């Protein structure tokens, strides 16, 4: 037997993203163990957990609500990445860029799934938050 969420591509992607966040968190200085490291890993874990919890919902509307929670947790991890960059905690900017790109892919999947549940199966365009459409953490 398998559960509904285990078959979801977005849940598999969330697991991969969580692994990336944990690997990034391991590179933080010991002084961030109970701050950024803890906050970022809890938020990443929450993404997959909310996808799973929402899959047992009684309605599409309720499942969409849990996908919204997952999206908020994802955005929280992105904000943590910016704080890591600002504090120069990670010397290798490529690591941050890879994690950021993975966050974009997951964001698009979460939004598309949420819209499909609401009966608007329209693909979410990738949001542009920075000038010149540059991926953050470029030197």
Query: Can you give the three-state secondary structure of the chain, one letter per residue?
Result: CCCHHHHCHHHHHHHHHHHHHHHHHHCCCHHHCCCHHHHHHHHHHHHHHHHHHHCCCCCHHHHHHHHHHHHHHHHHHHHHHHHHHHCCCCCCHHHHHHHHHHHHHHHHHHHHHHHHHCCCCCCCCCCCCCHHHCCCCCC
Q: What tens-digit pLDDT sequence spans the chain (139 residues)?
A: 889 999 999 999 999 999 999 999 999 999 999 999 999 999 999 999 999 999 997 899 999 999 999 999 999 999 999 999 999 999 899 999 999 999 999 999 999 999 998 875 444 445 555 545 556 877 6
Per the domain annotation, does 139 fall within a domain? no
Structural domain harbouring 121? 4-133
How far apart (Å, rounded) are the C-alpha atoms in residues 75 and 135? 15
Please say whether the beta carbons of 44 and 18 come within 8 A.
Answer: yes
Per the domain annotation, does 138 fall within a domain? no
Per the domain annotation, does 14 fall within a domain? yes
Per the domain annotation, does 21 fall within a domain? yes
CA 32 to centroid of chain Cα atoms:
20
- Provide the pLDDT for residue 31: 95
CATH number, domain containing residue 17: 1.20.1440.60
Per the domain annotation, does 89 fall within a domain? yes
Residues sharing a CB contact under 8 Å with residue 39, sequence separation 6 or more, in sequence order:
76, 80
How far apart (Å, rounded) are the C-alpha atoms in residues 110 and 96? 21
Per the domain annotation, does 17 fall within a domain? yes
- Provide the pLDDT for residue 131: 45
Q: What is the number of domains present in the chain?
A: 1
- Provide the pLDDT for residue 137: 79
- Provide the pLDDT for residue 128: 54
């Amino acid at each position: 037997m398998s559960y509904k969420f285990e078959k979801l591509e977005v849940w598999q992607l969330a697991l991969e993203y969580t692994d990336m966040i944990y690997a990034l968190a391991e590179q933080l200085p010991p002084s961030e163990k109970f701050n950024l490291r803890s906050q970022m890993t809890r938020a990443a874990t929450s993404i997959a957990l909310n996808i799973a919890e929402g899959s047992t919902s009684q309605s599409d509307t309720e499942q969409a609500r849990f996908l919204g929670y997952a999206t908020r947790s994802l955005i929280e991890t992105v904000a943590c990445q910016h704080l890591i960059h600002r504090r120069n905690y990670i010397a290798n900017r490529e690591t941050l860029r890879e994690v950021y790109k993975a966050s974009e892919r997951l964001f698009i999947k979460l939004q598309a799934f949420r819209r499909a549940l609401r009966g608007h199966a329209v693909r979410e365009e990738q949001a542009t938050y920075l000038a010149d459409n540059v991926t953050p953490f470029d030197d």
